[in-house]
Structure 1
Amino acid sequence: MQWTGLNELREKFLSFMESKGCLRLPSFPLIPKDDKSLLLINSGMAPMKKYFTGEVTPPKTRVTTCQKCIRTPDIEEVGITDRHGTYFEMLGNFSFGDYFKREATAWAWEFFTKVLEIPAEKLYISVYQDDDEAFDIWTKEVGVDPSHMVRLGKADNFWEHGSGPCGPCSEIYYDRGEEHGCGKPDCGVGCECDRFMEVWNLVFTQFDNDGHDNYTPLDHPNIDTGMGLERLACVMQGVDNLFLVDTVQNIMKHISSIVGVNYGEDPKTDISLRVITDHIRSTTFMIGDGVMPSNEGRGYVLRRLLRRAARHGRILGYTDPFLYKVADTVIKENESAYPELRDKRDFIVKVIEAEEDSFSKTVKQGMQMLEDIIAKADSKVLSGDDAFKLNDTFGFPIDLIKEIVSENEMSVDIERFQELLQEQKDRSRDAHKNAGAEAWLSDSIDFSDVDKTEFKGYKVTSCESKIVAMVKDGERVKALTEGEEGLIILNRTPFYAESGGQIGDTGVLVADNTVVTVNDTTKDASGIFMHTVKVEKGVVAVDDTVFAKVDSKRRMNITRNHTAAHLLQAALREVLGTHVEQAGQLVSDDYFRFDFTHYEAMTDDELEKVENLVNEKILDQLDVVSEEMDIEEAKKLGAMMLFGEKYGDRVRVVNAGDFSIEFCGGTHVTNTANIGLFKIKSESSVASGVRRIEAVTGEGVLNYLNSVLFVVNKCTEALRINNPKELVQGSIRIAEEMKAKDKKIEELNQKLAKNATEAVFKNAKRYKGIRIISVAINGATVDLLRDMSSRAVDTDPTTVIVLASINGDKVTFICGCGKDAVANGLKAGDIVRKVAQIAGGNGGGKPSMAMAGAKDVTKVDDAIIAVEGIVKEMADSLGLED
């Protein structure tokens, strides 16, 4: 066997499986399509589950892939050891009722021993203990030495997740040599030491489990194999772990050159290098597949990975953004297999850089929060809840938290912190543990006896149809009576089903003495249209013939908005750049929203250019042509594809005068002039690197302009401006007048503060070298209290001043200590806390300035009177002398 690079191994495997008649499919995107059970694709079979269940017909019964995968249930373990990683590639070959055990085992052995030339004596095979068929195939047909065969139990060699398709599996192990073993006499396959590495798992899906361990043979058994590409590379490159594989090592070397730390020099820095290397691989691929940073779902996973990587950069002593630079190396090492990374390079880099900048600001916010917590703490222990909040919300490293609090002679309740961290891990694990089982489930009702619906709505908005199925309360029924609601499936329909961001059509189904309202239209993965209905009059039954009629006016408004969305995307790419791609959209009858990839807010000038360009194309009266064609022909036309979407050999292309050419299955106008007018209502941020435009067309523009005009007229009335044209200048004038008045008020407040301070000083008490001032000033603002306190301590550094103010039912206390008072051991935080507690409150802060709140306004005077005693008691305890 010869040293082989990771990229070469991938190609060798896929080419080999192609030679066996398998169709090579590109990796599916990491974002699951039509699968709510997974946040991210985590195995080779996950994106093909509907091929296995029969819900969708596969493009061929023999398929091979190299699938990008993300697994994140144990993120915190990544880096601690060299075994854990979040991103990996899974090689696999699949049979959907085609070949079975004989072919799967023979091909696996041929690929290992003939193509890769791995010595047969280095390979061991495990089979399910009761699978005599597989054992005989391996030994009698493939020719594996029986001494290299192992029978294992259900936990190791039977693949199942609750109910559904399942079956025995057979695993191929590579013997790394005695030097990697535990030395025990019984060391072998299944031992927990590092000698025998599982490389390839062949799953023979031949049974259906009813959930009660009753197994029924499948009529058409399947094959599902999975082999980690990085793990195979470890074998072929003679290295111990994935971080030493060639492409991964090149990424780590780039990181090392930036942070100035080399791998293998220190176990602690090795952890950080592994974390950064793994996480930048994951995040580069995730962003490339359309995942954007956010605070929920897969976007939160992305953000957490990026911030954990940035945090470990700081642990290595590097605080400047650098991950975006390393992304270039990730792209370079993988672009031969995944050219989309190269195509989206600029965008990937921008998103990572923006997230790093955001994390830097978050660290600053976390630092301020930590300082406030320390200042207000009434014990020497930072609570585990506060530590967890800093860690979870702000991504603040626990090691840094411990270091900072120790400088303030405090510690962290690590036990409680770990408890909360474990609870979070458990929640995450619970959410993911059944993913394999759920991958086989479908939330659709069984329509296996129903043919795909014939959609007529591109050309007509009404037609005669036959009812072929009905559903009520989740169950198939034969009829629906007056007042009942349910689903109706027609053999043909003019109703567009919600898809691609375009909402479903509404309308009516009518027959003799029967009227059925259609409130929505959707469809399942097999192309069956489901009409959500309510029977307004009469009775409808399966096999009835009805006249289906779409709400034409609503449909026309939707088509205007959909075609305008296409023009908008083309205009955005012309004005902002070709990095702009659709990141989501909603096309309804009254407005549409378009989410797109862009890393900063659009300027007013850019928005005006985009809006003008769309309206220009509307006025140009461009013909809009929608037609089906071969996908290769569409690509030659330069048709825009929705990134991450899987397309068949035949696609529908919508061409608006060659200005906009897109793959699209939605409904559109026939000429851009039909849109009428286009107006952008707003532009905003959806997530880091994703912007959103909301816009209107046709009558929607008139409605929008009328609503704006209404607001303008009301504003002119309220501001007593005669002419709406003078609204801007009038508003500016009024704002300047208010600003001048605010300045005058501030000047008066300063004078009041000075006068009040002088009056307060006259009532000051002295005790053991400390000047004590306390007074309540009802209605005073916090700023005024702070200003008075600052004046007091500035005039005499021995001052301790406590001020109180009541505003409604809110009580505020402020304490200031001059530098001499602080030097003597007096702390404003301690004083204000004790004072506030008298009025049912609490607070704290820095030794020189602190603030507290309270609830009982009736106790404020008592609290102010108590100040003198509190300060004297503290002075005595500190041993101050007169």
Structure 2
Amino acid sequence: MQWMGLNEIREKYLEFFEGKGHLRLPSFPLIPKDDNSLLLINSGMAPMKKYFTGEVTPPRKRVTTCQKCIRTGDIENVGITDRHGTFFEMLGNFSFGDYFKHEATAWAWEFCTKVMEMPVDKLWVTIYQDDDEAFDIWTKEVGVAADHIVRLGKEDNFWEHGPGPCGPCSEIYFDRGPEHGCGKPTCGVGCDCDRYVEFWNVVFSQFDCDGHGGYPPMEHPNIDTGMGLERLACVMQNVDNLFLVDTVQNIIKKVCEIAGTEYGKNKKNDVSIRVITDHVRSVTFMIADGIMPSNNGRGYVLRRLLRRAARHGRLLGIERSFLTEVAETVIHESCGAYPELSEKKEMIMKVISVEEESFSKTIDQGTALLNDIIKNNKGTVISGEDAFKLSDTYGFPIDLTKEIAGENGMTVDEESCRKLMQEQRQTARAARKNAGAESWAGESDLLKGVPETEFLGYKEKTAQAKVLAIVAGGSRVESADAGDEIGLVLDCTTFYGESGGQVGDTGVINADDAVLDVNDTTKNHAKNYIHHCTVQAGTIRVGDSVSVQPNWERREAIMRNHTAAHLLQAALRKVLGTHVEQAGQLVSEQHVRFDFTHFAALAAEELQKVEKMVNDIILSAVPVEMREMPIEEAKKLGAMALFGEKYGKVVRVVSAGDFSKEFCGGTHVDNTAKLGLFKILSETSAAAGVRRIEAVTGYGVYNLLNDSLNTIDQTAAVLKLNNTADLTAHAEQLMAQLKQAESELEKVNAKMAGQQVEQLMASAKQAGSVRVCTAKLNGADAAALRTMCDKVRDSAPDMVAVFAGVNGAKANIAVAVGKDALTNGAHAGKIAKAVAQFAGGNGGGKPDFAMAGAKDLTKLDSALNAACGVVEELVK
């Protein structure tokens, strides 16, 4: 058995099964498609569940893949143990109703012994305890010695996850030798020690579990296999764990280079090195598949992994941003098998850089909050509640809390903190309860067996079609009458089904005996276009011939906005950089809403440049071409793919000259001139690292122009102007006059306030070593109160002013403390808070000036009367 690199092993496996008639598919994205039961793809078979259930027809009955996977259930153990990691690759060969046990076992053995050249005496096979058929095949056909086959129970060797396909399985183990064992007499296959390594699981899906204890046999059994690539690499490279595999070691070396340390010399440092290595592998692949940092869902998983990696960098003494350097090594090691890493490199670097910089500020904020907790703590233990809040709310790691607490001679109530964390995990698990069972349940497919709908809407406006199915009230029906709300499936249609951000068509369907209004159009995974209709008259029946007529005026508006979305993305990439990727869009007849990856608000100049660039292309009347072509040809043309989307071998490319080329299944105008004009309405934040632009075209611009002109005319009329051209100058003149009037009013108010302040100061009361003047002032706003307080503070150093301004049902309290009064112990913030509390309010501020709010105006007088007592307590 020769040493073999991980990348070489992957290729040998895929080549081997291609030679056995399997279609090699690229890894599916980590974002599950049309599967709400999973947050992230966590196994080789997960993205192919619908192939196994029969909901979707596979591209071929034999398929092989190397699937990138993320599992975060044991994230706290990553780095602490040699076994735990969040990212891994899963090799798999699959049969969808084609070959079964005979071929699957023979090929597995052939790959292990002939291709990998593993010694036969080192290999062991497990089978389900009652699977005599598998035992006979392994021994009599494959030739495995009977004493190297172990029967195990249902828990170990029967694959089942709720209702759906299930069955016994065989696992293949490699014996690493007694020197890796536990030394117990009972040590053998299945022992928890490191001697016997299970690396391949072959599942014989031959039963269809009904969820109630019944296991009827499947008419067409399946094969589902899974082999951890890193585990196989450990065997082939004779190393103890995934962190010693060649490609992972190269990442570890990069981390050590940055940290100025050496792996294997310090246990504590090794934990941090492993965490960084594993987590950066995960986040690099996640970002490449379109996952962006956020505070929930898979975006939170990404953020958490990034922050853990950044924090462990600090534990290694790395004070600067460094994760992008590690990510570059990850890309270098894996881009041969996963070209999306190279294609999205700029984006990956940008996301990691921004997020790491953000967390750097979080660390500083958390440290400040922790210092306050330590300062105000009367004992020597930081409560579990405080530690949990720092971790959960502010992202401040518990380990760092313990470290800083220790430096201050304090400890953390870890047990209480752990309980709170456990409660949080249990809540999260409850939300995912029975996800395994639900993952097989799939969606209720009332249209199973209905042929896919032929879409004619790229070229035709109307069409003659046949009714294939009617759905009403959650069931398939044969007919529907006037007033019924139904879903109608036809053999062909020109109605576009909502997808890719483009809304579904509306319109009319006519039959000989019925008229239907189409309120929306959607499509399912089986490519059935579902027309959501109201039967306006007559009766519609399965088998009827109908004519379909989308609302073409509405469709044309949608097409203008969809083409505008393509032009907008191209312009954004040219103005802002190629890190810009579509992160979502909504194309309707009213407007286009386009979300894209970018990390700062666009400047006015950038927006103007983008808008002009799009309008230049529109006014140049560039033809828009839509062509189907092999995906590799499309990539050579430079066509952009949707971030994280999965495409087939043949794709549809929409091109506007050389300006824009995108993969797209939507409908578009045939010339950019048909957009008329393009106008950006707004640019806002949609999420962390994602910006949103809303814009209009065609009649949207026309209506916007009319509305704006009407507003201008109405404004001119209010200002009694005959010529709108004078509007700006007149508005500027009015503003100047208003500003002058406000200035004069301020002077008058200041003079009146000064006179009023003098009267109030004359009536001040003595409170210990200082004087206190109070007043309730009706109509005085916060600015007026501040002005009066400033006058008292500046003219009477020994005085405290407490003024309350009443405006309707609200009251503000302002407090100012003179220089001498401040020296004697008066504190504006404390006075404002105490006085406000007498009136049901609260507030505070600086020692020399503070403000507060009062809720109960009936108690405001008594609150002001209490001010002297409050001040007297402070200056004792």
TM-score where L is the length of structure 2:
0.88
Q: Aligned runs of 1:739-758 on 2, under 5 Å?
A: 756=757
How far residue 487 of structure 1 moved from its aligned partner, in angstroms, is: 0.5
Question: Structure 1: how far apart are the matches of 2:773 and 2:495?
Answer: 76
8 Å CA contact 1:263, 1:270 repeated in 2: yes
1:348 corresponds to 2:348 = yes
State the match for 1:545 in structure 2.
545
Higher mean C-alpha deviation, range 384-393 or range 801-810: 801-810
Q: RMSD value over aligned CA atoms?
A: 4.0
Counterpart of 2:21, as a letter, is G
1:430 corresponds to 2:430 = yes
1:136 corresponds to 2:136 = yes
1:611–1:794 Cα change, 3 Å: closer
How far residue 58 of structure 1 moved from its aligned partner, in angstroms, is: 1.7
8 Å CA contact 2:760, 2:774 repeated in 1: no
SS at match of 1:439: helix
Cα shift readout 1:773-798 (whole Å, capped 9, x = no counterpart): 57465576667878988999999999
1:81 corresponds to 2:81 = yes
State the match for 1:269 in structure 2.
269
SS at match of 1:230: helix
State the match for 2:517 in structure 1.
517
8 Å CA contact 2:764, 2:774 repeated in 1: no
8 Å CA contact 1:509, 1:548 repeated in 2: yes
How far residue 291 of structure 1 moved from its aligned partner, in angstroms, is: 1.4
State the match for 1:463 in structure 2.
463
How far residue 675 of structure 1 moved from its aligned partner, in angstroms, is: 2.5
Cα shift readout 1:547-567 (whole Å, capped 9, x = no counterpart): 221111111212222223333
Higher mean C-alpha deviation, range 233-242 or range 428-437: 428-437
Counterpart of 1:533, as a letter, is C
Please, which runs of 5 or more residues in structure 2 have no aligned partner? none
Question: Structure 2: how far apart are the matches of 1:120 and 1:657?
Answer: 60
State the match for 2:699 in structure 1.
699
1:745–1:351 Cα change, 3 Å: farther
Counterpart of 1:506, as a letter, is T
State the match for 2:502 in structure 1.
502
Counterpart of 2:483, as a letter, is G
Counterpart of 1:485, as a letter, is E
Higher mean C-alpha deviation, range 318-327 or range 863-872: 863-872
Cα shift readout 1:704-723 (whole Å, capped 9, x = no counterpart): 22223334445556677775
Q: Aligned runs of 1:622-701 on 2, under 5 Å?
A: 622-701=622-701
8 Å CA contact 1:200, 1:226 repeated in 2: yes
Higher mean C-alpha deviation, range 45-54 or range 259-268: 259-268
Counterpart of 1:455, as a letter, is F
How far residue 386 of structure 1 moved from its aligned partner, in angstroms, is: 5.8
How far residue 669 of structure 1 moved from its aligned partner, in angstroms, is: 2.2
SS at match of 1:614: helix
8 Å CA contact 1:836, 1:863 repeated in 2: yes
Question: Structure 1: how far apart are the matches of 2:552 and 2:40?
Answer: 39
8 Å CA contact 1:377, 1:844 repeated in 2: no
SS at match of 2:652: strand
8 Å CA contact 2:559, 2:669 repeated in 1: yes
8 Å CA contact 1:376, 1:845 repeated in 2: no
Question: Structure 2: how far apart are the matches of 1:748 and 1:415?
Answer: 65
SS at match of 2:216: strand
How far residue 180 of structure 1 moved from its aligned partner, in angstroms, is: 4.0
State the match for 1:613 in structure 2.
613
Question: Structure 2: how far apart are the matches of 1:104 and 1:760?
Answer: 97
1:111 corresponds to 2:111 = yes
1:225 corresponds to 2:225 = yes
Higher mean C-alpha deviation, range 477-486 or range 679-688: 679-688
Counterpart of 1:698, as a letter, is G
Cα shift readout 1:123-174 (whole Å, capped 9, x = no counterpart): 3322212112222322333333333322222222111111111111122223
Question: Structure 1: how far apart are the matches of 2:121 and 2:762?
Answer: 94
State the match for 1:474 in structure 2.
474
SS at match of 1:652: strand
8 Å CA contact 2:275, 2:309 repeated in 1: yes
State the match for 1:314 in structure 2.
314
8 Å CA contact 1:174, 1:196 repeated in 2: yes
TM-score where L is the length of structure 1:
0.88
Question: Structure 2: how far apart are the matches of 1:857 and 1:123?
Answer: 85
Higher mean C-alpha deviation, range 70-79 or range 740-749: 740-749
Question: Structure 1: how far apart are the matches of 2:328 and 2:516?
Answer: 58
1:536–1:869 Cα change, 3 Å: same
State the match for 1:14 in structure 2.
14
Counterpart of 1:441, as a letter, is A
Cα shift readout 1:383-437 (whole Å, capped 9, x = no counterpart): 7556544433432234555677899999876555434422332233334454433
Question: Structure 2: how far apart are the matches of 1:619 and 1:72?
Answer: 51
Question: Structure 2: how far apart are the matches of 1:302 and 1:701?
Answer: 40
Cα shift readout 1:461-515 (whole Å, capped 9, x = no counterpart): 2222221111112111111111110101112212111122221111111223521
Higher mean C-alpha deviation, range 178-187 or range 364-373: 364-373
1:49 corresponds to 2:49 = yes
SS at match of 1:215: coil
Question: Structure 2: how far apart are the matches of 1:231 and 1:734?
Answer: 77
Question: Structure 2: how far apart are the matches of 1:80 and 1:741?
Answer: 71
SS at match of 1:538: strand
1:100 corresponds to 2:100 = yes
Question: Structure 2: how far apart are the matches of 1:327 and 1:866?
Answer: 63
Counterpart of 1:546, as a letter, is V
Q: Aligned runs of 1:282-297 on 2, under 5 Å?
A: 282-297=282-297
Question: Structure 2: how far apart are the matches of 1:728 and 1:80?
Answer: 68
State the match for 2:146 in structure 1.
146
Cα shift readout 1:510-547 (whole Å, capped 9, x = no counterpart): 22352111111111122211110111111111112222
8 Å CA contact 1:522, 1:530 repeated in 2: yes
8 Å CA contact 1:444, 1:524 repeated in 2: no
Question: Structure 1: how far apart are the matches of 2:814 and 2:77?
Answer: 46
Higher mean C-alpha deviation, range 501-510 or range 851-860: 851-860
1:326 corresponds to 2:326 = yes
Question: Structure 2: how far apart are the matches of 1:681 and 1:691?
Answer: 14
State the match for 2:604 in structure 1.
604
Higher mean C-alpha deviation, range 20-29 or range 622-631: 622-631
8 Å CA contact 2:163, 2:441 repeated in 1: no
Higher mean C-alpha deviation, range 727-736 or range 347-356: 727-736
State the match for 2:206 in structure 1.
206
8 Å CA contact 1:335, 1:341 repeated in 2: yes
State the match for 1:158 in structure 2.
158
Question: Structure 1: how far apart are the matches of 2:783 and 2:435?
Answer: 55
Question: Structure 1: how far apart are the matches of 2:380 and 2:162?
Answer: 50
Q: Aligned runs of 1:330-479 on 2, under 5 Å?
A: 330-363=330-363, 387-401=387-401, 417-432=417-432, 434-479=434-479
Question: Structure 1: how far apart are the matches of 2:81 and 2:800?
Answer: 55
Higher mean C-alpha deviation, range 339-348 or range 168-177: 168-177
How far residue 120 of structure 1 moved from its aligned partner, in angstroms, is: 3.1
8 Å CA contact 1:678, 1:698 repeated in 2: yes
Cα shift readout 1:256-276 (whole Å, capped 9, x = no counterpart): 333344434444433333322
Question: Structure 1: how far apart are the matches of 2:103 and 2:278?
Answer: 35
8 Å CA contact 2:767, 2:871 repeated in 1: no
Counterpart of 1:500, as a letter, is G
Higher mean C-alpha deviation, range 396-405 or range 528-537: 396-405
8 Å CA contact 1:375, 1:846 repeated in 2: no
1:826–1:575 Cα change, 3 Å: closer
Counterpart of 1:151, as a letter, is R
How far residue 26 of structure 1 moved from its aligned partner, in angstroms, is: 0.9
8 Å CA contact 1:355, 1:688 repeated in 2: no
How far residue 176 of structure 1 moved from its aligned partner, in angstroms, is: 3.7
Cα shift readout 1:809-832 (whole Å, capped 9, x = no counterpart): 556667889999999999888777
SS at match of 2:32: coil
Cα shift readout 1:681-722 (whole Å, capped 9, x = no counterpart): 223332344333322222121012222333444555667777
Counterpart of 1:97, as a letter, is G
Higher mean C-alpha deviation, range 843-852 or range 291-300: 843-852
